[in-house]
Structure 1
Amino acid sequence: MLVGIDLGTTNSLVAVWRKGQAQLVPNALGQVLTPSVVGLDDQGQVVVGEVARERLQTHPHLTCALFKRHMGSTWQGRLGDRTFRPEELSALVLRSLREDVERAFGEPVTEAVISVPAYFSDAQRKATRVAGELAGLKVERLINEPTAAALAYGLEQKSATTFLVFDLGGGTFDVSILELFDGVMEVRASAGDNFLGGEDFDSALVKHVLAHCPELATWHAESGEGVQRLSREAQRVRHALGQHEEVPFRFVMGRQEGSIVIDTQRFQQIAEPLIKRLRAPLDRALHDARLKVGDLDEIVLVGGATRMPLARKLVVSLFGRLPLMNINPDEVVAKGAAIQAALKQRDAALEEIVLTDVCPYTLGIETSEQYGRQIDPGHYLPIIERNSVVPLSRTREIVTLHDQQSEVLVRIFQGESRLVKDNILLGELRIAVPPRKAGEVSLSVRFTYDINGVLEAEVTTGITGETRRLVIENNPGVLSKEEIGRRLKSLEALKVHPRDRQVNSLLVARMDRLFQESLGDQRSYVGELAAYFQRELESQDELRIREAHVEITQRLDELERHW
Structure 2
Amino acid sequence: MGRAIGIDLGTSFCVAAVIENKIPLVIPNREGNNLTPSVFALTDKNEYLVGNAAKEYATKNPDKAVFSIKRYMGQDHRVLVNGRYFSPVQISVFILQKIKCDIESYLNEPVDKAVITVPAYFNHLSRQATKEAGEKAGFKVLRIISEPTAAALAYGLKRKDIKTVLIWDLGGGTFDVSILELDQGFFKVKAVSGNNRLGGGDFLQKLVDHIAQKFQIRHGVDPRKNIFFHQQLKEVCEKAKAELSDKRTANLVLSSLPGPDGALIDFETSVDRETFEEITSDLAQMMILPTKQAIQDARMEIENIDRVLLVGGATRMPCVQTIAKKFFCQDPYLKINPDEVVGLGAAIQAGILTKEIKDVVLLDVNPLSLGVETRGGLVARVIPRNTIIPASGTQIFTTAKTNQTSMDINVLQGERELAADNICLGRLDLTGIQPQPQGRSRVEVDFSIDADGILTVAAIDLHTDHKVSIHIDSANLISESMISEAIMDAEKHFKSDAENKKKIETLIKAENLVTTVDELIKEKHQQLPEGLLPDLNSLVLDLKNSLQLGDVNDIDAGAGMLTRFISDIGIGR
Shorter-chain TM-score above 0.5? yes
Matched, 1:345 2:354: yes
Residue 223 of structure 1 and its aligned partner are, at CA, apart by 4.2
> Alpha-carbon deviations, 1:477-501, whole Å to 9, x = none?
59xxxxxxxxxxxxxxxxxxxxxxx
Q: Is the 8 A contact 1:379 1:420 kept in 2?
A: yes
1:307 alignment partner in structure 2? 316
Cα distance between partner residues in 1 of 2:433 and 2:77: 40
Matched, 1:367 2:374: yes
Superposed, 1:20-99 pairs within 5 Å as 20-41=22-43, 43-99=45-101
> Alpha-carbon deviations, 1:268-313, whole Å to 9, x = none?
2211221232112211111111111100001011111000001111
Find the partner of 1:298 among 274, 297, 307. 307
Which SS does the other structure have where 1:294 is aligned? helix
1:387 alignment partner in structure 2? 386
2:404 alignment partner in structure 1? 405
Worse-superposed segment, 328-337 or 35-44? 35-44
Cα distance between partner residues in 2 of 1:436 and 1:218: 72
1:229 alignment partner in structure 2? 232
Q: TM-score, normalized by length of structure 2?
A: 0.78
C-alpha distance 187-223 of structure 1, shift in aligned 2 (>3 A): closer
Cα distance between partner residues in 2 of 1:318 and 1:454: 34
Which SS does the other structure have where 1:356 is aligned? strand
Residue 9 of structure 1 and its aligned partner are, at CA, apart by 0.7
1:549 alignment partner in structure 2? none
Q: Is the 8 A contact 1:188 1:358 kept in 2?
A: yes
Matched, 1:356 2:359: no
Residue 468 of structure 1 and its aligned partner are, at CA, apart by 3.5
Superposed, 1:160-175 pairs within 5 Å as 161-175=163-177
Matched, 1:131 2:133: yes
Which SS does the other structure have where 1:225 is aligned? helix
Residue 146 of structure 1 and its aligned partner are, at CA, apart by 0.5
- Can you give the 5+ residue segments of structure 2 that lack an aligned partner in the other structure? 259-263, 479-573
Which SS does the other structure have where 2:127 is aligned? helix
1:428 alignment partner in structure 2? 427
1:486 alignment partner in structure 2? none
Cα distance between partner residues in 2 of 1:418 and 1:260: 52
Cα distance between partner residues in 2 of 1:172 and 1:102: 30
Superposed, 1:130-149 pairs within 5 Å as 130-149=132-151
Cα distance between partner residues in 1 of 2:41 and 2:116: 23
Matched, 1:322 2:331: yes
Worse-superposed segment, 216-225 or 195-204? 216-225
Cα distance between partner residues in 2 of 1:289 and 1:7: 27
Q: Is the 8 A contact 2:124 2:473 kept in 1?
A: no
Which SS does the other structure have where 1:247 is aligned? strand
Residue 17 of structure 1 and its aligned partner are, at CA, apart by 0.6
Residue 78 of structure 1 and its aligned partner are, at CA, apart by 2.6
C-alpha distance 238-423 of structure 1, shift in aligned 2 (>3 A): same
C-alpha distance 65-474 of structure 1, shift in aligned 2 (>3 A): closer
Cα distance between partner residues in 1 of 2:89 and 2:234: 24
Q: Is the 8 A contact 2:74 2:474 kept in 1?
A: no
Q: Is the 8 A contact 2:129 2:474 kept in 1?
A: no
2:446 alignment partner in structure 1? 446
Superposed, 1:543-558 pairs within 5 Å as none
- Can you give the 5+ residue segments of structure 1 that lack an aligned partner in the other structure? 370-377, 479-563
Which SS does the other structure have where 1:226 is aligned? helix
How many equivalent pairs are there?
Answer: 468
> Alpha-carbon deviations, 1:175-205, whole Å to 9, x = none?
1100011221101111112221111101111
Cα distance between partner residues in 1 of 2:417 and 2:127: 24
Which SS does the other structure have where 2:6 is aligned? strand
Matched, 1:105 2:107: yes
Q: Is the 8 A contact 2:74 2:128 kept in 1?
A: yes
Which SS does the other structure have where 2:280 is aligned? helix
Q: Is the 8 A contact 1:211 1:217 kept in 2?
A: no
Worse-superposed segment, 388-397 or 168-177? 388-397
Q: Is the 8 A contact 1:69 1:195 kept in 2?
A: no
Superposed, 1:442-481 pairs within 5 Å as 442-473=442-473, 475-477=475-477
Matched, 1:208 2:210: yes
Cα distance between partner residues in 2 of 1:435 and 1:95: 54
Cα distance between partner residues in 2 of 1:306 and 1:454: 29
Residue 15 of structure 1 and its aligned partner are, at CA, apart by 0.8
Cα distance between partner residues in 1 of 2:222 and 2:119: 38
Q: Is the 8 A contact 1:427 1:475 kept in 2?
A: no
Residue 135 of structure 1 and its aligned partner are, at CA, apart by 1.0
Larger Rg computed on CA atoms: 2
Alignment-mate amino acid for residue 235 of structure 1: E
Cα distance between partner residues in 2 of 1:39 and 1:320: 45
Residue 10 of structure 1 and its aligned partner are, at CA, apart by 0.7
